[in-house]
Amino acid sequence: MAIITTTRQKYVVVGAGPVGSLAALYAAKRGHDVEIYELRGDLRDPSTTPLNFTKSINLALSERGINAMRHADHPDLLGHVFGATIPMRGRMIHGKRPTGELYEEPQDYDIHGRTIFAVDRAGLNKRLLDILEAMPNVKFFFNHKLTGADFKKRRAWFESRQTGGSGSDSSDRPKEIEVRFDLMIGADGAHSAVRYHLMKFTRMNYQQEYIDTLWCEFQISPLAKSAKSRNPSSSIESRFRISPNHLHIWPGKQFMFIAIPSEDGSFTCTLFLPSAEFAYLEADTSKLPEFFDHHFPGVTSLIPPTELTSSFEANPHLPLINIKCSPYHYASSAVIVGDAAHAMVPFYGQGMNAGMEDVRTLFSIFDKHAATLAESNNPADPAPLDDAALQRGLALAEYSTLRVPDAHAINDLALQNYVEMRASVLSPAYRFRKLLEEFLSVHVPSLGWHTKYSRVSFGNERYSDVVAKSERQGRILLRGLGGGLVTLLCVGAYGFYARQLARSRPPVSFFHTITYTLFRR
Ligand code: FAD
């Protein structure tokens, strides 16, 4: 749908993460005055402490995030983002055979060869900030923390620690400022202050869950320039120690270790482990290399044991939260998007992708309402509809109604996918279903069968539709397999019975005649 510019309004975006920055870009492209308030300093400033206190998080970027950036309609965005991504065609499962031999088993994500992309979250975020900075209707306020909001009066309060985009006070003492707005977009992450204040204005249902898994980051360093890659499929000299085009998984049944490639030849690795195991290893970190050798064979040849231990000691052990809430808006003045609305565990690689899709969905609804308004606005008959706030209110209500079931669906899928990544990838039943669904997708396309993973990561269908379709496919498969099994059993039983019958006496009926003919010796 084309971008519709409406009455110029003031949009305040809280949070300059990937989702908030994209929301600011969508709003600015529609001609609104946009102010972005961010708790931390400018990410592009090397002195700013990154989110989660880690050097970088490498994310899996897939179709929904890409599509949202495509619809941002900015000539420099996608090209630049793609210039810094690495395609990942599938998972590479690492393990050890009973003979003690290490193995790598690739499992492609998609029979049609589509890939997801490894991207540096900070790099993507910085690119969005650069684009926004060049827009005349966007202002940044870094080091500004949202402390209060009145969504009826459309006012908010921020604590500012130092000069932002337009202030004049350079002291380090916190100062409170009041900001007026038409719409506040809360993109301030899992512990959202906007959501907290929104709860005082709307009857929001809220549910949060910490899963019993913590995560900690490690690095596989690049090979020195002259060395050759271990990756046998690579003919050119590579700085990657293992295949760069896979998301590497060391499944541990109850936990796992993963590695995602970075542009410089390194891999950002994440250990996901229940809190009890973390406590066990924290009590005596010298056990770590042995633990890795037992559960994640081969890792200590990629990360030297001393480095493994020092990263485990230095990097934070962070929790994973799953948040569901509803609705996402209040009247015409506030809406939450991204992790603020639906923080999820990272096992489907969809958190940021879903957040970006929120933005595309929200603004496509704004555009639809703006178009309706423009059509019905006859200058000879000034309609009461000529009210940007009313239009926004209708759009926000529609957004909550549409988006809540989808966000809840992907939250649940992300939780379920942890089991798939750490255990099911090794199961024959899982592989059989994948094989069968991919076979049908290629050879009987009219059936419209696709794996759940490909619907989530390579398409833009609503998440709730993906779940419904995948459950339907599962039921049909189960019925088909069950029916096949019952038929086989019946045929076998009948064959056995008929054979006995045929041997004992001459045929007395039509079926007996066939049986007699078939089984008579
Ligand atoms: P955030 O990135 O959390 O940004 C929120 C911003 O708001 C921050 O800059 C913060 O400083 C600011 N803020 C907070 N409070 C205030 C306040 N009071 N006032 C002003 N500003 C405030 N997603 C994927 O799509 N693919 C993946 O492969 C993937 N892997 C992941 C791996 C791990 C280990 C983790 C933890 C997450 C992963 N995710 C992944 C999820 C992804 O990181 C998040 O979904 C995404 O960063 C959410 O973006 P956001 O902009 O909504 O929130």
Give 189-211 pLDDT, tens digit per residue: 999 999 999 999 999 999 999 99
Q: Which helix (H) or strand (E) holds 487?
A: helix 463-504
Q: Which residue, judged by its Cα, is nearest atom 46 of ligand 1?
A: 352
CA of 52 from ligand 1 middle (Å) equals 9
| Range of lowest pLDDT (155-169, 399-413, 495-509) | 495-509
pLDDT at residue 373, rounded to an integer? 72
Which atom in ligand 1 lies closest to the alpha carbon of residue 340? 52
pLDDT at residue 446, rounded to an integer? 75
pLDDT at residue 521, rounded to an integer? 45
How much is the average pLDDT of 123-145? 96
pLDDT at residue 164, rounded to an integer? 44
For the cut 60, the answer to whether the pLDDT of residue 31 exceeds it is yes
Report the distance separating Cα 350 and Cα 413, nearest Å. 10
Q: Is 193 in the pocket of ligand 1 (CB under 6 A)?
A: yes
Residue scoring higher pLDDT (504 or 151)? 151
Residue scoring higher pLDDT (174 or 22)? 22
Structure confidence at residue 515 as a pLDDT band (50, 70, 90): low
φ/ψ of residue 260, rounded to 5 = -120, 135
Q: Is 346 in the pocket of ligand 1 (CB under 6 A)?
A: yes
Report the distance separating Cα 259 and Cα 118, nearest Å. 10
Pocket test for ligand 1, best of 21, 39, 64 (most atoms within 8 A of CB): 39
Q: Is 315 in the pocket of ligand 1 (CB under 6 A)?
A: no
Pocket test for ligand 1, best of 12, 21, 55, 57 (most atoms within 8 A of CB): 57
Q: Is 184 in the pocket of ligand 1 (CB under 6 A)?
A: no
Report the distance separating Cα 61 and Cα 463, nearest Å. 16
Report the distance separating Cα 387 and Cα 352, nearest Å. 33
Q: Which of 74, 80, 78, 61 is nearest to 26 (CA)?
A: 74
For the cut 50, the answer to whether the pLDDT of residue 113 exceeds it is yes
How much is the average pLDDT of 112-137? 95
Q: Exposure string (b/e) for 93-122, b if CB count within 10 Å is 16 or more?
A: bbbbeeeeeeebeebebbbeebbbbbbbbb
| Range of lowest pLDDT (243-252, 431-440, 491-500) | 491-500
For the cut 80, the answer to whether the pLDDT of residue 135 exceeds it is yes
Pocket test for ligand 1, best of 52, 128, 176, 188 (most atoms within 8 A of CB): 188
Pocket test for ligand 1, best of 26, 144, 218, 339 (most atoms within 8 A of CB): 339
CA of 261 from ligand 1 middle (Å) equals 20
CA of 42 from ligand 1 middle (Å) equals 15
Structure confidence at residue 165 as a pLDDT band (50, 70, 90): very low
pLDDT at residue 454, rounded to an integer? 93
Whether residue 417 contacts residue 348, with contact meaning beta carbons closer than 8 Å, is answered with yes
What proportion of the chain, given as a percentage, has pLDDT over 70? 83
Complete edge-to-edge strand list for the sheet that includes strand 33-37: 138-141, 33-37, 10-14, 183-186, 334-336, 329-330
Residue linked to tokens 């055979």 = 97
CA of 189 from ligand 1 middle (Å) equals 5
Structure confidence at residue 384 as a pLDDT band (50, 70, 90): very low
Q: Which residue, judged by its Cα, is nearest atom 26 of ligand 1?
A: 349
Which atom in ligand 1 lies closest to the alpha carbon of residue 339? 52
Residue scoring higher pLDDT (371 or 195)? 195
Q: Which residue, judged by its Cα, is nearest atom 38 of ligand 1?
A: 346
How much is the average pLDDT of 31-48? 92
Which atom in ligand 1 lies closest to the alpha carbon of residue 40? 11
What pLDDT digit, counting tens, does each position of 177-187 carry?
Answer: 999 999 999 99
pLDDT at residue 102, rounded to an integer? 96
Kindly tell me the sign of the dihedral angle through the C-alpha atoms of 80, 85, 88, 89.
positive
Residue scoring higher pLDDT (424 or 191)? 191
Whether residue 245 contacts residue 232, with contact meaning beta carbons closer than 8 Å, is answered with no
Q: Helix, strand, coil: what percent of the chain each, to 5?
A: 45, 20, 35
CA of 319 from ligand 1 middle (Å) equals 13
pLDDT at residue 475, rounded to an integer? 83
Q: Which residue, judged by its Cα, is nearest atom 31 of ligand 1?
A: 346
Q: Name beta bridge partners: 120.
A: 58
Pocket test for ligand 1, best of 14, 26, 35, 59 (most atoms within 8 A of CB): 59
For the cut 90, the answer to whether the pLDDT of residue 129 exceeds it is yes
pLDDT at residue 419, rounded to an integer? 81
Which atom in ligand 1 lies closest to the alpha carbon of residue 188? 7
pLDDT at residue 360, rounded to an integer? 98
| Range of lowest pLDDT (150-154, 316-320, 408-412, 424-428) | 424-428
Burial label for 141, CB within 10 Å (0-12, 13-18, 19+), is buried
Whether residue 463 contacts residue 354, with contact meaning beta carbons closer than 8 Å, is answered with yes
The mean predicted confidence, pLDDT, of the chain is 87
Report the distance separating Cα 432 and Cα 482, nearest Å. 15
Report ipTM for this prediction.
Answer: 0.99
Report the distance separating Cα 37 and Cα 92, nearest Å. 40
pLDDT at residue 57, rounded to an integer? 78
For the cut 90, the answer to whether the pLDDT of residue 169 exceeds it is no
For the cut 70, the answer to whether the pLDDT of residue 520 exceeds it is no
Q: Which residue, judged by its Cα, is nearest atom 13 of ligand 1?
A: 188
What pLDDT digit, counting tens, does each position of 441-474 carry?
Answer: 777 777 778 889 999 999 999 999 999 998 888 7
Our measurement of the distance from residue 400's CA atom to the centroid of its chain's CA atoms, rounded to an integer in Å, reads 19
Q: Is 161 in the pocket of ligand 1 (CB under 6 A)?
A: no
| Range of lowest pLDDT (8-22, 108-122, 419-433, 457-471) | 419-433
Q: Is 247 in the pocket of ligand 1 (CB under 6 A)?
A: no
Residue scoring higher pLDDT (312 or 169)? 312
What proportion of the chain, given as a percentage, has pLDDT over 90? 66
pLDDT at residue 440, rounded to an integer? 79
What pLDDT digit, counting tens, does each position of 283-296 carry?
Answer: 999 999 999 999 99
What pLDDT digit, counting tens, does each position of 237-262 carry?
Answer: 589 999 999 999 999 988 999 999 99
